[in-house]
Amino acid sequence: MKDKNVLIKKKCPYCFLQISNEDTGFLLKTDGARFISPALNDVATPKRDIPYVQFWNAMGIPEEQLDAERMIMDNRILTELNQELSAAGKPLAMKHYNPDSFGYVFSAREGAINLYSNTMICPHCHNALPQNFFKYDMLMIGMAGSVDSGKTVYISSLMMDGYHVLQRDNLMVRNAAGNTSDPYLLEMEKNADMLFRQGICPGATSKAFRKPVFMEMSYRLEDRVFPLIVAVYDVAGELIRENTGAGRTGFARYMDGFICMVDPAQMHLEHAVLSRTMPDEAQVLSKLRLLSKEEQISYQMMSNRNDKQIMDPNDFMNDSYHHEDYILERKAEMIMDSLRSGLGEALLHRKYMALTLGKSDKLEGVGEIHSYPASHLLFEREAVSHGFFNMDHHFLRQDLLAEIFDQKVFRLRRNLEDYKASSLFMVSALGCETEVIRDGAQEVVKTVGKVNPIRVEEPLLWIVMKYMQERGWLD
Ligand SMILES: Nc1nc2c(ncn2[C@@H]2O[C@H](COP(=O)(O)OP(=O)(O)OP(=O)(O)O)[C@@H](O)[C@H]2O)c(=O)[nH]1
Ligand SMILES: [Mg+2]
Ligand SMILES: [Zn+2]
């Protein structure tokens, strides 16, 4: 079987349509190389990539925010290119099967200049597929959580210092992005770097579907190695609540699991420390207004297209709408309800739920939490060097967290019973307090001291572990 082309079909991690390795196109990078052949020069000239622009417009990202000028090769362009090359008596451009990755690479040669690409793109939406996409299984994890609950900071914290918090003796994690110069990926990497080096938190996420972060994980168990691709989707809180099932956020139905972030601000605590350190209402309201004009328009188009007029365009920037939203969107229970109503029980039965109290550093000094027995386990920082996490402590924390959730957040039973499996976590992506500082005209949130996460990786690794267990990899 060696070197023989194998046809593999999978779902695109962006548009979720079925694609095969034979249908994929390529994203080309030429570094400005020019060719004698006009047909090759045409291919090597960036053009407005219409399927890509249309996909992201529908997802709420306007063209100005996209790398819309791209060089694309697909099966149709390849056929046309080769007709011209062959008419001119030049060597043909080729798609080669790569038995190592079950993918293809593109190459065209003119004299000493080689036009080459191994960045495969989806033939429908033209987004870059992650490395080894056709070779490894992919686990898709959605960040669910209300506005400002810490989803984006969570992902940045995982990515810091080369996925440092996820690395173990027997677990290796690396970036698996197909296009390493993707502007959104670069932005995420910059966010993670700013957080790691300077403690600066990323800004609020716009109301739009974003590209997932792809990582390749290889877990070693004795002499066997289990590789997989993990895609983490960060979506603004409002989107999950507004329409879980359809349109832009239809993504929720394809996820294998969710990390639902609960902000301690939603807890029923009597302690005054919290309310003082919580972002005030005005701050959250101003975040909700961060949409650009284009985002508002495409957002509006999207809701019209779904025949679900979510709100009247005139009300769109109306304060009262945002005011009610503020109350609702701070509640993790709303997110859980939306997931259930959007996906339906049958689908929920196939998903994992890591229900996670985030920003746990804010609870570190709170007496009400310390009155629970063994509460020190909640703030334990010690990381393991082998395996996923400290299982004994993890199980001890389950009962404790169940009690805390029941008493201080919401009744758990009803919210979790429909999932395939669920587990409770309490983590901090920052592990320290924050302060708001002025940076020129901008306000930025900065940590007080160096970022020192509290077991931030556990919810993610728990889903990875369940996924592997389900496949019998850990037996
Ligand atoms: N103390 C503390 N604050 C945190 C932590 N994680 C996030 N925050 C704060 O919460 C704010 C919001 O975090 P984000 O990650 O932007 O929240 P989000 O859920 O992505 O919000 P949207 O994108 O607006 O839906 C940050 O600016 C931080 O101030 C944490 O671990 N500890
Ligand atoms: Mg965000
Ligand atoms: Zn696609």
For residue 304, what is the domain's CATH number? Answer: 3.40.50.300
Q: Which atom of ligand 1 is nearest to the CA of 362?
A: 1
pTM as predicted: 0.88
Q: How many Å apart are CA 186 and CA 178, to the nearest integer? A: 13
4 within a domain of the structure (yes/no): no
Q: How many Å apart are CA 23 and CA 123, to the nearest integer? A: 6
The domain in which residue 43 lies consists of: 9-121
Which of 122-131, 274-283, 326-335, 346-355 has the weakest average pLDDT? 274-283
83 and 186, same domain (yes or no): no
- Residue of 191, 201, 261 with the most ligand 1 atoms within 8 Å of its CB, for mutation: 201
**What's the whole-number mean pLDDT along residues 258-268?**
89
Give residue 12 CA to ligand 3 midpoint distance, Å. Answer: 5
237 and 199, same domain (yes or no): yes
> pLDDT at residue 245 above 50?
no
Q: Which two tokens stand for residue 334?
A: 């709303």
- By CB atoms closer than 10 A (0-12, 13-18, 19+), residue 342 is buried
Q: How many Å apart are CA 365 and CA 363, to the nearest integer? A: 6
331 and 412, same domain (yes or no): yes
129 within a domain of the structure (yes/no): no
Ligand lying closest to the C-alpha of residue 277: 1
Please indicate whether residue 145 or residue 75 has the higher confidence score (pLDDT): 75
54 and 174, same domain (yes or no): no
Q: How many Å apart are CA 250 and CA 237, to the nearest integer? A: 14
> pLDDT at residue 298 above 70?
no
Cα Rg of the chain, angstroms: 24
**What's the whole-number mean pLDDT along residues 159-176?**
97
174 within a domain of the structure (yes/no): yes
- Contact indicator for 296, 316 with CB cutoff of 8 Å: yes
- Which residue is listed with tokens 């609702």? 328
287 and 355, same domain (yes or no): yes
417 within a domain of the structure (yes/no): yes
246 and 387, same domain (yes or no): yes
Give, using CA atoms, the residue closest to atom 8 of ligand 1.
Answer: 150
210 and 305, same domain (yes or no): yes
298 within a domain of the structure (yes/no): yes
475 within a domain of the structure (yes/no): no
- Which residue is listed with tokens 């200049």? 113
Helix (H, G, I), strand (E, B) or coil at 238: helix
- Which residue is listed with tokens 């386990």? 377
Cβ < 6 Å from ligand 1: which residues?
Answer: 145, 147-153, 201, 204-205, 236-237, 287, 358-359, 361-362, 428-430, 433-434, 445
Half-sphere exposure for 166 (CA within 13 Å, toward CB):
29
Total of domains in the chain: 2
The answer for residues whose C-beta is within 8 angstroms of residue 38's C-beta and 6 or more apart is 84
CA 365 vs CA 143, 145, 368, 371: distances in Å: 27, 24, 9, 11
93 and 162, same domain (yes or no): no
Ligand lying closest to the C-alpha of residue 264: 1
Q: Which two tokens stand for residue 238?
A: 């409002």
Q: What is the pLDDT of residue 448?
A: 94
Give residue 426 CA to ligand 2 midpoint distance, Å. Answer: 19
266 and 308, same domain (yes or no): yes
> pLDDT at residue 368 above 60?
yes
For the chain, the 3-state helix, strand and coil shares in percent, each to the nearest 5, are 40, 20, 40
Q: What band does 330 get if pLDDT is binned at 50, 70 and 90?
A: low
Beta bridge partners of 218: 172, 227
Give, using CA atoms, the residue closest to atom 14 of ligand 1.
Answer: 150
**What's the whole-number mean pLDDT along residues 343-369?**
92
Among residues 59, 92, 121, the one where a domain terminates is 121
> pLDDT at residue 266 above 90?
no
Which one-letter amino acid corresponds to residue 233?
Y
**What's the whole-number mean pLDDT along residues 117-138?**
96
203 and 82, same domain (yes or no): no
Q: Which two tokens stand for residue 335?
A: 């997110």
187 and 277, same domain (yes or no): yes
256 and 146, same domain (yes or no): yes
Q: Which atom of ligand 1 is nearest to the CA of 154?
A: 15
348 within a domain of the structure (yes/no): yes
Among residues 121, 149, 170, the one where a domain terminates is 121
With residue 88 as reference, give the H or E element that holds it. Answer: none
Give residue 326 CA to ligand 1 midpoint distance, Å. Answer: 15
Mean pLDDT for the chain overall = 85
- Residue of 143, 146, 147, 148 with the most ligand 1 atoms within 8 Å of its CB, for mutation: 148
